[in-house]
Amino acid sequence: MEADFWHERWRGNRIGFHRDTPLPLLTRHWPDLGLAAGSRVLVPLCGKSLDMVWLAEQGHRVLGIELSELAVASFFEERGLEPRIRSSGLGRHYSAGPWELVVGDAFAVTPDSLADCAGIYDRAALIALPPPMRATYAGTLWRRLPPGCRGLLVTLEYPQAEKAGPPFSVEEAEVHARLDRDWSVALLERRDILAGEPSFLAEGVTALSTAAYRLERRDGTCAPP
């Protein structure tokens, strides 16, 4: 979706994608990645997700990328923190404690800016994008992460013809098609969640599952800026 779409969602507080608790798939599967305390973890299209609070509680430093400055400012305000703010070629950096959130374009991050990221957590980025933008996202941000980086990817799967995204359906075959070139991809869990998603039921969606994948970046050359 274009940037204006997301800015309008945040301005209108139409953020049904925001959860008031950490995602259970994150708390269940993240520890198995084995990232050391102090590791830097990238969270693309991070919004003001409480998943970033949970990651920090595990001892990680969190680097978030988000289009909406309102979302980023709200994250720190809700923590009672006064962030330091600076600008770079990537955007405006808000930093306090273990969090650095950049107001900028996730497609424009550079390999240098991601060089110390040991992990990536994607719950709301890949499924937020229509197919052409998913291809760009996989070919830019994901390819610019360093070898050895480990990640957890969470997707949704449903009959796409039954609902207009976002969030979009991303099937397992597409995950492999987008990422197998550079990443080892393993499905960890798939579960039926339709009964707990009234908005999908209201739109007539007949099947809805969520899937979690473990990923590890293979050795090789990162994509250029």
- Residue ranges at the known binding site: 10, 45, 66, 123
Structure tokens, 100: 């650095």
Structure tokens, 149: 């980086």
Q: In whole angstroms, what is the distance from residue 197 CA to residue 131 CA?
A: 23
Dihedral class, residue 152 (left if φ above 0, else alpha if ψ from -120 to 50, else beta): beta
* Positive or negative: CA dihedral 112, 118, 123, 127: positive
Detail the residues annotated as belonging to a binding site for S-adenosyl-L-methionine: 10, 45, 66, 123
DSSP states along 175-188: HHHHHTTTEEEEEE
Sequence-distant (6+) residues with CB within 8 A of 44 are: 64, 65, 106, 120, 122, 125, 137, 141
DSSP states along 96-116: ETTEEEEEE-GGG--HHHHTT
Which residues are bridge partners to 141 per DSSP? Answer: none
Which residues are bridge partners to 64 per DSSP? Answer: 43, 101
Count of residues in the chain: 225
Q: Please, what is the angle between helix 69-79 and helix 3-11, to 10°?
A: 40
